[in-house]
Amino acid sequence: GDSVTQTEGQVALSEEDFLTIHCNYSASGYPALFWYVQYPGEGPQFLFRASRDKEKGSSRGFEATYNKEATSFHLQKASVQESDSAVYYCALSDRGYGGSGNKLIFGTGTLLSVKP
């Protein structure tokens, strides 16, 4: 079945550091790829999405580019802030034909801690 792999379980940075969180996927079709962020005590929040090869998604200074050849969607931010500390999830969803796409398949999540 479809799956998402996030390599880093935890990332510890200082403010203004560059962030990369790696995300690779395995899917039979042509899925949409997402990044969600979860703050303590809250549900995940949509960050952005990309649905075709080479498309860049971005929001709040974060960005990722859909790479079909490498099956990747790595999250990057040029300069992190303490307020970015949270758990970040990469996810995929297929096209939804026949209702099978009405679900997100999440990676294992990456806990980002940013020191001031």
Partner 1 sequence: ETAVFQTPNYHVTQVGNEVSFNCKQTLGHDTMYWYKQDSKKLLKIMFSYNNKQLIVNETVPRRFSPQSSDKAHLNLRIKSVEPEDSAVYLCASSYGAGYAEQFFGPGTRLTVL
Residues at the interface with partner 1 (CB under 8 A): 32, 34, 38, 41-46, 49, 51, 87, 89, 93-97, 99-106, 108-109, 111
As measured in angstroms, the least distance from the Cβ of 24 to partner 1 is 17
Q: CB-wise, 19 or 32, nearer to partner 1?
A: 32
Q: CB-wise, 15 or 95, nearer to partner 1?
A: 95
Distance, CA of 105 to chain centre: 11
In the block, residue with structure tokens 């050849």: 69
Residue 74 · residue 23 · CB < 8 Å: yes
Q: CB-wise, 29 or 79, nearer to partner 1?
A: 29
Phi-psi region of 17 (alpha: psi -120 to 50; beta: other; left: phi over 0): beta
As measured in angstroms, the least distance from the Cβ of 31 to partner 1 is 9
As measured in angstroms, the least distance from the Cβ of 7 to partner 1 is 16
Q: CB-wise, 1 or 116, nearer to partner 1?
A: 1
**Count of CB atoms within 10 A of residue 39's CB?**
12
Residue 90 · residue 108 · CB < 8 Å: no
As measured in angstroms, the least distance from the Cβ of 111 to partner 1 is 8
Q: Which two tokens stand for residue 60?
A: 């709040």
